[in-house]
A and B are shown apart, each in its own frame.
Chain A
Amino acid sequence: MKRNLPSFLLYLLSFLLLWEWLRPIEQLTDTNNLETFIAFMLISFACSFFKIKRIWKIIIKLFYILFFINRLHYEEGFFQLGWIMSFFMDIADNVELVWSRQWTELSNGFRTFLFFILLWLMVYLIEYWLLNRQRIFIFFFMTLVYITVLDTFTPYSAKAAIVRTVVVGFTIMGMLTFYRMLQKENVKVDSSFIRKWMVPLVGMIVFSVLVGMIAPKADPIWPDPVPYITANNDEVDNSAGLHRIGYGTNDANLGGPFIGDDKSVFVYEGSGKNYWKMETKDVYTGKGWLVSGANSERTVLTEEDIVPVEPAADSVATVKKTARVILNGSYNFNYFMYPAGVSKIMKVQPSTANGNQLEFEATNERISYYNGDQKPVVPSFFSVEFDSPQYNVTDLMVTTEFPPEMNPDYVEKYTVLPENLPARVKELAEEITAGKTNWFDKAKAVERYFSNSGYTYDQKDVAVPGENDDYVDQFLFDTKRGYCDNFSTSMAVLLRTLGIPTRWVKGYNGGDFQAYSEGDPSTQMYEVTNNNAHSWVEVFFPNQGWVPFEPTKGFTNDVSINYQMDGDSSGNSQVTPPANVKKPQQEEADETAPKPEAKKDMGGKAFWTNAANHWKLIVLIFILLAGSGAILYRYRGKWAPYGILLHYKFKKKDESLESAYLILLNQLDRYGLKRKEHQTLRNYAQYIDTFFSTREMTKLTTLYEQSMYRQSLPLGTWKESSELWENLIKKTIA
């Protein structure tokens, strides 16, 4: 193969294909410095592209390998040669280890060395496939298998990789097929001929890839095996990857799919459903949530003490309620879950003789249970007394900024954001809350935003933010797909960009209704399972305290907000039925709500979800289109000639005869007068003329013969013959 653009392309594409093998390695294994290996691949490909002498190739590659082994694994400088001795010793040791099959003992230097050798071999193999065999299918296929297997059985997401591989692989195969054919048929080609091959090739690949990308994908017919595999593999690092649903304390790295779990956590009996808080977190890192301050202030309580949670302001009306909680045996935290406005936790079981104690952490509002020896105890039963707050919208809408007397540290604590938070998050927040002046309206706008703007609740197909991604930014702009953590974190962060203090709350939602309590129809039993583990947002209003909000699509928190007010406001709620006066406004809001959604439906996913709803119509349209297309094609002999006649009316050149004659042949063929392959035109013309009782075909054929077999035509041929031709075409239509 010559050293020209096509062969350069082939090398480049092969390099990309091989690169696909390295990409997942970084994510799935603890291999670092991958760029070193990629550069090695590049050098190897360049060596073979430039046809460097074999001996130089080997010297260059060996030098590279040794240099980087030295850089990565030895402290000494490369030219201080002492390290080479120890490197060889290391290799000798490792060979022994390999011999005794102690794979885990191999040193990193040796692994690096082996990896280099492997890449070297691969490049050699690809070169052999390209140059000698001119076939790459095996490698291409193996790459596809590799990527799909990784995608299926590991957290590696091959969405982009599969597209890249398909494009690259088919391009190489198409080009190789072309060159293989050239070689086999021993023909010389010019650039226009190459274009004739390459342009359709590119077209086909682009078309099929686009179709593949846009087309709706069927859901897998069996559940994603990754959760199962990772769940059963203790060594898998769960920090960023798949989680099992349920309450956990580590939220430093959010994201990734969830696996459902309907194991019961607790059952509670109370007068109505409510959310159960476990703790709050205040520091957003860009990947997840932490609690500020390692040693938070702890308060020891006894069972009758008031739990010192930050109370709602005095102006907030409360309703005193109690609930009894029976915890499942499988619950293994020593933390209590409690409703908003908790005042007392009582009758905790198990209790011991030396007196158990409760501990309250002020920073994250977590209530834990200890025995007398400060050992954590998992509670099995307790009852809780709480003052369920009844907010008043008028009061909520008062706040438009921090009152100056607020403690600035406190403000700072709940509005701080990571420095590298992309600016577009703030821009979005401003866009959502445009026109709103008070904090409550802003919070409501953000809360509502998620249900209206094409966000999808999903536990499985949820991205893990990459190293340079922000968890919120990724969800808001790229994936738009996630579960409570995504929604709640996003809302908290969006509001913080506006300077509104928020915190992130973890716990459980209200669970499922079980039964009415025996003998007391005013209380009910609810069961809360791991699936009910939840997170939401609390927004701080200086005059009201912390007010919970529920941004997660499909969830509602029964926060009581009284919308009765004097002034006009756009505030509404999905919870409390607004007063009659508000009704028209609410309807208006409901009407306007779907509109932006409809506009944004032009985008891929929304389009297909929309399409899925109308699939019957779409299938019908498709069948109609296909059917009419087929009919048009089937009877093209009837209508196509008219177009052709018109088209050739305007042709003046004598050369038109050739194409016109060939069209006539096709047309006659469709008409049913088939020419056998070995039948000469003259013979066929006689047959046609006998059939139509004319002499026109013979005359026309004689002219065509001159043009075809003599390569020259008398001037004005087309003028003379166009009439013959038209007559014949017309005969086939009649």
Chain B
Amino acid sequence: MTHEQMNPTIEKIIANIEKVMIGKRNVAELSLVALLAGGHVLLEDVPGVGKTMMVRALAKSVNANFRRIQFTPDLLPSDVTGVSIYNPKEMEFQFRPGPLMGNIILADEINRTSPKTQSALLEGMEEASVTIDGVTHKLQRPFFVMATQNPIEYEGTYPLPEAQLDRFLLKMKMGYPDLQEEMEVLNRAQKEPPIEELAPVIQLDGLLALQQEMKEVFVDDTIKRYIVDIVNRTRGNGSVYLGASPRGSIALMKAAQAYAFMYGRDYVLPDDIQYLAPFVLSHRIILKSEAKFEGTSAEEIVNRVVARVPVPVRRLVK
């Protein structure tokens, strides 16, 4: 896949991000996939691996309004969405937008806050609008949330309900850098952090245009069938308590379109599906407790399913 010609704009964005992030090209790519597809990303990882840096670099590259919300147990929904405050001078309530009113939002440690606050964020993600005091405020476009969560075994967390996990297009792990990369990180840390010097590659308008273009990517019926086959198999799997929903199928298709677009193609390949399936589907299935005790992860299940569904290599019989 590496020898494919990437979309030049996206290539530049990724190059931009790589200036600050070492390694982690795939994370950058996937984040861009989600951004192009109009979805959101859930990063499941421990603190300190560069999540914030990643998002900030992305935001800078597209010249987006970047906000960050650090979720704590005492955070209130209004802290996220904004609040109406009475202005005695003008004798009326004035809306003070919260951090959700940005383009690119880093929702850090989303599982540490109360479900009420979580749902305020998730509502915004789904509807692209928030309602405060009966007034609906449209969120800015593009709107992209990158949420992080500590692995749920940690103390003092409110795990996200499955229905809400479904709202994220992709879920991925960042992972630690390898030795070489980490040494490079140290090298860079000695200098001025380069993030401040990043120049935008495109403007927000350009990003919106890319999002529109992405929708033109052709998905053949064989590919749709392939997607549905894979999603269907997650439902029948022995270790799975609840399989992926049709929303999962849609997400997989959109992500694949964005991914194909990123690689300069105007059609989706089975390869795209295979690559993206674990990221798109693993957080949408609930494992049986037996499977969990055995130490099977959802990613493994998805990979197993993908390994079992035959790739379409000839046309459907009409």
A interface residues with partner B (beta carbon < 8 Å) = 658, 662, 665, 675, 677-683, 705-706, 708-711
Do B308 and A709 touch (CB < 8 A)? no
Asked if A677 meets B269 with Cβ closer than 8 Å, knowing A709-B222, A709-B223, the reply is no
Do A711 and B218 touch (CB < 8 A)? yes
Do A681 and B270 touch (CB < 8 A)? yes
- Bound-complex Cα distance A681 to B308 (A): 15
Do B310 and A709 touch (CB < 8 A)? no
Do A683 and B220 touch (CB < 8 A)? no
Do B267 and A680 touch (CB < 8 A)? no
Asked if A708 meets B314 with Cβ closer than 8 Å, knowing A678-B306, A678-B309, the reply is yes
A509: min CB distance to chain B, Å: 71
Asked if A682 meets B220 with Cβ closer than 8 Å, knowing A665-B313, A708-B313, the reply is no
- Bound-complex Cα distance A396 to B315 (A): 85
Residue of B nearest to A677 (CB): B310
Across the interface, A709 reaches (CB within 8 A) one of B269, B307, B309, namely B269
Residue of B nearest to A659 (CB): B314
Do B220 and A708 touch (CB < 8 A)? yes
Please name all residues of chain B whose beta carbon is closer than 8 Å to the beta carbon of A680 when the two chains form the complex.
269-271, 274, 311
Do A710 and B220 touch (CB < 8 A)? yes
Please name all residues of chain A whose beta carbon is closer than 8 Å to the beta carbon of B310 when the two chains form the complex.
677-678
B317: min CB distance to chain A, Å: 8
- Bound-complex Cα distance A665 to B312 (A): 13
Residue of B nearest to A676 (CB): B307
1/0 contact string of B272-309 vs chain A (CB within 8 Å): 00100000000000000000000000000000001111
Across the interface, B307 reaches (CB within 8 A) one of A678, A681, A710, namely A678
Do B314 and A681 touch (CB < 8 A)? no
- Bound-complex Cα distance A706 to B218 (A): 11
Q: Is B266's CB within 8 Å of the partner chain A?
A: yes
Residue of A nearest to B314 (CB): A662
Residue of B nearest to A678 (CB): B307
Please name all residues of chain A whose beta carbon is closer than 8 Å to the beta carbon of B312 when the two chains form the complex.
708
- Bound-complex Cα distance A320 to B196 (A): 145
Do B220 and A709 touch (CB < 8 A)? yes
Do B311 and A710 touch (CB < 8 A)? no
- Bound-complex Cα distance A631 to B311 (A): 32
Across the interface, A710 reaches (CB within 8 A) one of B266, B271, B306, B315, namely B266
- Bound-complex Cα distance A275 to B34 (A): 109
Interface centre among B218, B220, B269, B271 (most CB of A within 10 A): B269
Please name all residues of chain A whose beta carbon is closer than 8 Å to the beta carbon of B315 when the two chains form the complex.
658, 708
Do A681 and B311 touch (CB < 8 A)? yes
Asked if A709 meets B306 with Cβ closer than 8 Å, knowing A678-B311, A681-B311, the reply is no
Q: List 12 A-B contacts (CB under 8 A).
A: A662-B313, A677-B311, A678-B311, A680-B269, A680-B311, A681-B270, A708-B312, A708-B313, A708-B314, A709-B268, A711-B218, A711-B220
A709: min CB distance to chain B, Å: 5
Asked if A679 meets B311 with Cβ closer than 8 Å, knowing A708-B222, A711-B218, A711-B220, the reply is yes
A589: min CB distance to chain B, Å: 67
Do B308 and A710 touch (CB < 8 A)? no
Which 8 residue pairs across A and B have the least CB separation, nearest first?
A710-B267, A677-B310, A680-B271, A680-B270, A709-B220, A678-B307, A709-B267, A682-B271
Do A706 and B267 touch (CB < 8 A)? yes
- Bound-complex Cα distance A662 to B218 (A): 22
Give the A-B pair count, Cβ closer than 8 A.
51
B1: min CB distance to chain A, Å: 8
A572: min CB distance to chain B, Å: 72
Residue of A nearest to B268 (CB): A709
Please name all residues of chain B whose beta carbon is closer than 8 Å to the beta carbon of A711 when the two chains form the complex.
218, 220
Interface centre among A658, A662, A705 (most CB of B within 10 A): A705
- Bound-complex Cα distance A481 to B218 (A): 74
What 9 new A-B contacts, CB under 8 Å, besides A678-B307, A709-B220? A678-B274, A680-B269, A680-B270, A680-B311, A682-B1, A705-B269, A708-B222, A709-B267, A710-B220
Please name all residues of chain B whose beta carbon is closer than 8 Å to the beta carbon of A665 when the two chains form the complex.
313
B177-211 residues at the A interface, CB under 8 angstroms: none
Please name all residues of chain B whose beta carbon is closer than 8 Å to the beta carbon of A675 when the two chains form the complex.
313
Please name all residues of chain A whose beta carbon is closer than 8 Å to the beta carbon of B274 when the two chains form the complex.
678, 680
Please name all residues of chain B whose beta carbon is closer than 8 Å to the beta carbon of A678 when the two chains form the complex.
274, 306-311
A191: min CB distance to chain B, Å: 13
- Bound-complex Cα distance A675 to B269 (A): 17
B133: min CB distance to chain A, Å: 50
B215: min CB distance to chain A, Å: 16
Please name all residues of chain B whose beta carbon is closer than 8 Å to the beta carbon of A681 when the two chains form the complex.
270, 311, 313
B112-156 residues at the A interface, CB under 8 angstroms: none
Residue of B nearest to A196 (CB): B317
Please name all residues of chain B whose beta carbon is closer than 8 Å to the beta carbon of A658 when the two chains form the complex.
314-315
1/0 contact string of B211-247 vs chain A (CB within 8 Å): 0000000101011000000000000000000000000
- Bound-complex Cα distance A705 to B265 (A): 11
Residue of A nearest to B220 (CB): A709
Please name all residues of chain A whose beta carbon is closer than 8 Å to the beta carbon of B270 when the two chains form the complex.
680-681, 709
Residue of B nearest to A187 (CB): B317
- Bound-complex Cα distance A709 to B267 (A): 7
Do B314 and A710 touch (CB < 8 A)? no
Please name all residues of chain A whose beta carbon is closer than 8 Å to the beta carbon of B267 when the two chains form the complex.
705-706, 709-710
B315: min CB distance to chain A, Å: 7
- Bound-complex Cα distance A675 to B314 (A): 14
Residue of A nearest to B317 (CB): A193
Please name all residues of chain A whose beta carbon is closer than 8 Å to the beta carbon of B269 when the two chains form the complex.
680, 682, 705, 709
1/0 contact string of B69-93 vs chain A (CB within 8 Å): 0000000000000000000000000
A246: min CB distance to chain B, Å: 68
B234: min CB distance to chain A, Å: 15
Please name all residues of chain B whose beta carbon is closer than 8 Å to the beta carbon of A677 when the two chains form the complex.
310-311
Interface centre among A665, A675, A679, A709 (most CB of B within 10 A): A709
Interface centre among A679, A680, A682 (most CB of B within 10 A): A680
- Bound-complex Cα distance A366 to B271 (A): 100
- Bound-complex Cα distance A655 to B102 (A): 50
- Bound-complex Cα distance A710 to B218 (A): 6
B307: min CB distance to chain A, Å: 5
- Bound-complex Cα distance A658 to B222 (A): 15
Residue of A nearest to B270 (CB): A680
Please name all residues of chain B whose beta carbon is closer than 8 Å to the beta carbon of A710 when the two chains form the complex.
218, 220, 266-267
- Bound-complex Cα distance A365 to B79 (A): 132
B310: min CB distance to chain A, Å: 4
Please name all residues of chain B whose beta carbon is closer than 8 Å to the beta carbon of A708 when the two chains form the complex.
220, 222, 312-315
A696: min CB distance to chain B, Å: 15
- Bound-complex Cα distance A256 to B215 (A): 83
- Bound-complex Cα distance A320 to B314 (A): 96
Do A683 and B271 touch (CB < 8 A)? yes
- Bound-complex Cα distance A706 to B267 (A): 8
Residue of B nearest to A192 (CB): B318
- Bound-complex Cα distance A126 to B315 (A): 40
Residue of B nearest to A695 (CB): B3
- Bound-complex Cα distance A666 to B181 (A): 44
B314: min CB distance to chain A, Å: 6
Residue of A nearest to B218 (CB): A710
Please name all residues of chain A whose beta carbon is closer than 8 Å to the beta carbon of B266 when the two chains form the complex.
710
- Bound-complex Cα distance A650 to B314 (A): 23
- Bound-complex Cα distance A680 to B226 (A): 12
A712: min CB distance to chain B, Å: 9
- Bound-complex Cα distance A681 to B314 (A): 11
B262: min CB distance to chain A, Å: 16
B3: min CB distance to chain A, Å: 9
B2: min CB distance to chain A, Å: 11
A579: min CB distance to chain B, Å: 81
- Bound-complex Cα distance A309 to B303 (A): 105
Residue of A nearest to B315 (CB): A708
- Bound-complex Cα distance A682 to B267 (A): 14
Please name all residues of chain A whose beta carbon is closer than 8 Å to the beta carbon of B307 when the two chains form the complex.
678
Residue of B nearest to A711 (CB): B220
A36: min CB distance to chain B, Å: 49
- Bound-complex Cα distance A731 to B112 (A): 61
- Bound-complex Cα distance A705 to B268 (A): 9
A669: min CB distance to chain B, Å: 11
